[in-house]
Every structure is written in C-alpha cells, then in structure tokens.
Structure 1
Amino acid sequence: MHPGRAPMFRRAALLRSGGIVVGVIAVGLTAFEVTLHVTAIDAGRLKAIPLPATTAALATPSPLADVGRVALSRVVTVEADRLNEEALGTGWLFDTRGDFVTNAHVVQGALTVRITDRRAHTHLAVVIASDPTVDIAVLRSVDGFAGRPLPLDRTAIIATPLPVVDLASSRATGHDDISIAVVTESGRDVPLEPGEVQPGSAAPSVYHDMLALSGAPVFQGNSGGPVLDDQGEVIGILTLASPNRPQSYAIPLTRVLDELTQFAARNG
C-alpha cells in the first residue's frame, strides 16, 4: 500500500450460470452477494471478546452470544431471484407489520423476493422501498410475520471500543450465525475499487460515516444483518467486510433510521 493512499475495496459475488460456477474473488472489502448454489463452508470457532467491567447496579448485561441467540428468531434469509442468478443476504424484523431491513444491493434487480425464517418457513416478500445511495431496503412479508421486532438503539455511538454481536443467516453464509466483534471506530469513509459500481448506478463508490468492526470474520451472505450491542439493541447494518481479515463495516442505524421508518410506513 502506498503511504498516504486510502485503501480501496471491492465487492464480490459467486454466481452460477449454465452449470458453471464463476467466483469473483475479492482482494479487499466485500459487499456480500451470494447465490443459492454456493457450497457451504464449515464454520470456524469464534472466540468471544470479554465484556468491559460494568458499573450498573441494577442489571448485568448478558454475554453477547446469549444476546445474539435471543434475537435470532427475528433474523431471516433474504433470497432475491434475478434474471440469471439468485442472491442471498440477511434481514431482520423491523416492526410488527412484517417489515424486514436488509441492504439494497441484496435485492437490487430482483424479480421476486422470499424470506426464510429460522423454522425453515418461506414467505413471499415485496420490496417496499430501497435507497441504493446508502444501501438500505425494507421488505414486507406478504403473509405477515409473528414475532417482536428487534429493539433499536436510537442514540449515536460516541465511545469506542464497543463490544457487539453480528447476526447473520447461516443458510446464506454457510457459517455460524453469531459472531462476536468490537466497534473500533465510527465515522469511517470506505472506498470501493474502481469498476465496482456500474455506470448509471446510484450505488455509492464510497460508503460514508461507517462503523468499523474487528475481531471476527464476516462472510458473503452477511449483508443486511443486524449489529447488536450488549443490550440486544440494533446499532448498525452489516454491509462490507474483508474476505481475508476479521474486519468489517456497518451502516450506523441512527444515520438511516428516519428513512427506514418512512419506508415502513408505506402501504405495500
């Protein structure tokens, strides 16, 4: 890397067309899109990061892995059928109307969208709205969804490091659905490599004001997954990650919460 030069990152996709699997291998940061036919990889063992000492007198936060397990019933696989391929990502329950949040790049160009819950029940979904400029989308399950929405942290992160848990669809990633990490920095600008964004696309070439996470590997299919604090509240939307380092980036929830709320208020 040249001194003073910002690192550049790439998206990656694994596609299957005409019986041939084509792998586009990322050498930098990856915005995750996978197809239904990706071979699952055995999950590696993840080491939990110890929580900092707490001064709370009335309650002690649960271990992060336990926080993640409680929330998993509200995390789903997002399956987006495109013209010649299928993309998989992760979504999480946003409200009581059966609305789920994911990344816009997961459902971009989708002809049909389905969500599959933890009990392997599949629901047809519609894209209520998406904003590719910040890479967010809201999907609605056509037949509703039973469950409490994930609680939201509506305050901006002002202190780091912050231990967190990333949740994902193991069906989409082929790896563990719970990963322990640490938010090491906020307000990061993350550039993608030239050519990653198609001409005429509204998708960003630089992701602004991102949360930087480290401490656990993140995989294709994690896109759209929630990042939770030790109280089980969503603080971010996992979007980008390194394929060869335990480093990832999430969209801060506070930056997009108003827009997500407006999307979910629409009639689908």
Structure 2
Amino acid sequence: MGRIPKSRLEQVLTAFVIALALTGLAVLIPTAAQRLGALRPMPTPVATPTPTAPPAAVLLPDELERDLAGVMTIVNDHSFGTAFLIDPQGDFLTAASLVSGSESLRLIDNTGGTHAVRVIGIDAALGLAQIRVASDGRPIAFGDPTTLQVDDPVVLLASPKVANLRSASPAVLTERSAIQLSLRVDDLPGNLGGPVVGPGGKVVGILTLGGKAVPINRSLDDLAQWRGQSGTLMPLAPIPGTLMLRGSDTTSSPTAGPTVQSVNPTRASAAQAALITLQGTGFTAGSRLRVRFVPLASPTGAFDGLAVTLVNATTLTVKVPAGRVIQDYVIQLTNGDGIVASSRTAFTVTP
C-alpha cells in the first residue's frame, strides 16, 4: 500500500479532531443548559386569594331579642307606626308625623295589650316626638351615629307583634350627615318611628321618612327640654283595618280598610312577565292605586307591579315584570284613596 501524503494526513487528522470537538459539544451543551437552568431562581408562585369573609351579623340573636322587647306599635286616628322605649319611666320616641295633629292615640305592646298615651313633646322640625305610656318593656340604649360609615349595615326594627311588618329589616347606610342618615331599606309606612340599630343593638337613628332617619344624638336636646313634663293624655284611637297582629286574623272589621287575602298564581318565572290576580276587600279606584312587591329577607329588590287594574271592590289584576330578583316577596297594596294595606300574602319569583 502506498504512503499517504503528509498534507493529506494532516487534513484527515484535523477533520477527526473537529468531529470529536463537535460531538463533545453536542453532549455538553444540553447538560450545561440543564445545570444553568437549575441555578436560576424559580418564580414566586402567585398566592391564591383568600375569599373575603362575609361581614358579621349586625345583631346577635340575644341582642335582637333584647331590643325587640322595647319596640311597640303606636296607633293614631287613621294609621299606625312604631315607637321604642328609651327609659324605665315609660318614655318612648317615635316620628312626629304619627303624633302631630292626631286627636287620639294608643300604644299596642308586644302581647297585644292596649295602653293610653301621653304626648310629652313634639319637635316637628326635627321630626321626633316623645310619648309616655304605662307599659312594661326594656329600654334600648343609645349608640353613636358619628361612628357609622357609608355602606355600614344596620337594622330597622318593628314590633314583633305586628304580622304585616318585618320585625327586623336589614338596611345599609348610603349617606350620613350631622342631621340625617340615608338608608337603602325596603321600609313600609308602619316602620315610621322605628329605631335604626347598629352593632351591639344600640339605637343610632329614628326613621322619620321613607329611607331617612334622624341621628339619635339629635334627640338629646329635646329630651332634656321635655324632662319632667307631665304631657297631655290622649283619647284612645281606633285600631285601623290595616293593622294585623300575630295571633289574630285581623284587628278590626275588613270594611275599615283594604285587605289583601290571596294571590293567584302564587309564583312566576323571572324569565317573562306574568299577570296575577289579587283577591281581598275594600279595593277602590284612584290615582294612587299601586301594588308593590317587598322582599321578605333582603334590603334590595323591591319593585312596583305594572298595569294595576281594578276589576271590582274585591279583585284587581297586576303585571309582574320580567327580570325581577329570584326570591320571596310580600304584597303591599296602596288603595286608590292612598290607604296602605300591607299583607302576609306571599309571592315568589322563580328562575
């Protein structure tokens, strides 16, 4: 075999070395990359957000029970509202509109007992009145409304003896000033004069208009001025037909005011409008005829029925619009003459 020329041998050796170098790099580069990757800091994992706990209940069960022992019903010539006990001497605060101009009054306690009323003082400008009654009960302590913040939850109380009012209506503070508390709450006329309570069951305001309360500290000057006064004893007011007490079907003849006794159908889907029929007594035509649906367990979602039509004194029809909140409601009728008939008649919006 002939000898390979020297130049050719050098080329072969050079190619062989290059091939070995490339092969080594092919093996080393992935390994080095893997080791370098292991040295890189790992990104910090994103923490899973913890669900926000729901706010604690405004009132504990024992606080609610204690407060309701001091919340009763005041009746005037033509309607009723709420009053609450503020001291052991039988002094109550309520809304001035329930007392001013009325020729007769009565207080109904939480057993259904009736009491004569003395009017101690009325502050029409502020919207408050003080009455005195010889009645047992538990006074409700005053709180500090200046500590409230917008969106704070509060509770509007009414007598637990009244069947056509919720004894505890959840509410939310939407605006606070030195002279007024604005609330998001589904209140009824019978709630006027009722206490608005905050944490600890302490009174922070008095409902004097729909969705409006006077801060309780605004009453202190009036209470100091009225202290020691004997007041004026009022004749007993008749019990209105709109007032329904637990343990009895009605408190007076149905002819004393409108009543809502049944609804048909009792439920409707939120997906479409529905025409329902109300049966009762004392229905009258007029520009103020209105049917309102008030949620049983929520401060929001109330709505007015559409196209309220009086068929006769015992029957009317109303349209429930589509898209209403899915929940249970009670029906509130405002008669054509403006008299309000709240009822225990329930209506449910379903999916």
Compute the TM-score of the two structures, normalised by the length of structure 1.
0.60
Change (3 A) 1:261 1:96: farther
User: Cα offset for 1:249?
Assistant: 1.3
Structure 1: 5+ residue runs without aligned partners?
1-49, 53-60, 188-207, 242-247
- 1:240 paired to 2:202: no
In the alignment, what sits opposite 1:87?
Answer: 79
Residue 146 of structure 1: which of 115, 136, 146 is its match?
Answer: 136
Assess if the C-alpha contact under 8 Å between 1:99 and 1:264 holds in 2: no
Percent sequence identity over aligned pairs: 36
User: Cα offset for 1:255?
Assistant: 1.7
In the alignment, what sits opposite 2:43?
Answer: none
Residue 255 of structure 1: which of 200, 212, 218 is its match?
Answer: 218
In the alignment, what sits opposite 1:76?
Answer: 72
Name the CA distance, whole Å, in 2 between partners of 1:166 and 1:120: 21
Compute the TM-score of the two structures, normalised by the length of structure 2.
0.47
- 1:51 paired to 2:51: no
User: Cα offset for 1:182?
Assistant: 1.5
Name the CA distance, whole Å, in 1 between partners of 2:132 and 2:87: 10
Q: Which has the higher contact order (CA 8 A, sep 6+)?
A: 1
Assess if the C-alpha contact under 8 Å between 2:95 and 2:192 holds in 1: yes
Residue 184 of structure 1: which of 168, 171, 174 is its match?
Answer: 174
User: Secondary structure, in 3 states, of the residue corresponding to 1:156?
Assistant: helix
- Rg bigger for which structure? 2
Name the CA distance, whole Å, in 2 between partners of 1:79 and 1:173: 15
Q: How does 1:1-268 map to 2 (within 5 A)?
A: 50-51=54-55, 63=59, 67-81=63-77, 86-141=78-133, 144-154=134-144, 156-169=146-159, 174-187=164-177, 209-214=179-184, 216-241=185-210, 248-268=211-231
User: Cα offset for 1:172?
Assistant: 6.2
In the alignment, what sits opposite 1:192?
Answer: none
Amino acid at match of 1:210: Q
Assess if the C-alpha contact under 8 Å between 1:210 and 1:252 holds in 2: yes
Amino acid at match of 2:195: P
Corresponding residue pairs, total:
179
Assess if the C-alpha contact under 8 Å between 2:59 and 2:201 holds in 1: no
User: Cα offset for 1:173?
Assistant: 7.9
Assess if the C-alpha contact under 8 Å between 1:182 and 1:213 holds in 2: yes
Name the CA distance, whole Å, in 2 between partners of 1:114 and 1:76: 11
Task: Please identify which structure carries the higher helix content.
Answer: 2
Name the CA distance, whole Å, in 1 between partners of 2:60 and 2:141: 15
Amino acid at match of 1:121: G
Q: Give RMSD over aligned pairs.
A: 2.4
In the alignment, what sits opposite 2:6?
Answer: none
Name the CA distance, whole Å, in 2 between partners of 1:252 and 1:172: 25
Assess if the C-alpha contact under 8 Å between 1:169 and 1:222 holds in 2: no
Name the CA distance, whole Å, in 2 between partners of 1:98 and 1:252: 21
Change (3 A) 1:110 1:253: same
Assess if the C-alpha contact under 8 Å between 1:76 and 1:116 holds in 2: yes
Name the CA distance, whole Å, in 2 between partners of 1:68 and 1:146: 17
User: Cα offset for 1:227?
Assistant: 0.4
